[in-house]
A = this chain, B = another copy of it.
């Protein structure tokens, strides 16, 4: 049961808590079901080692394979730029949180409201608080996190899993998207 506790011990959520992504297919299904998903990448994605790469590299792959627009928070955009990715939107995390609560907001691309917000790479507690805001105030949108820590306020989250499992899952998710 430990694995599906909040990663930061004390960040207990209330009665409504995230479902665990027990296998990559779950995440893929969500992504594929979404009409207008968005991937929100925090600055830690560029700091966390995954294999020989950084977490952000896998997220980029995911976004490209899944045709998911990216919004970089913090100073993430700089890392995206470094990697030659130029279409990234830039927006602070709290701003995105606020915008997503507005069901009429058409997204950074102005197309249509996002229906799935995928978070990754934000500081745990900040992602926790923002997902809390969305849980309560954005019933029209599904949320998912791809960090390897359990985020109780998301709709779907990994449990607290090892880096090894994480990497495997991420790879599988990316792979499945191709199919």
Contact = CB atoms under 8 A, between A and B. Distances in A.
Interface string A10-21: 101011000000
B5 A10 contact: no
- The count of identical subunits is 2
Interface residues of A, number: 6
B12 A15 contact: yes
A5 B10 CA distance: 17
A9 interface: yes
Contacts of A12: 12, 14-15
A152 to B, nearest CB: 11
Interface in A1-53: 5, 9-10, 12, 14-15
Contacts of A15: 5, 9-10, 12
Contacts of A9: 15
The 7 A-B pairs of least Cβ separation, nearest first, read: A9-B15, A12-B14, A12-B12, A10-B15, A12-B15, A5-B15, A10-B14
Interface of A: 5, 9-10, 12, 14-15
7 contacts: A5-B15, A9-B15, A10-B14, A10-B15, A12-B12, A12-B14, A12-B15
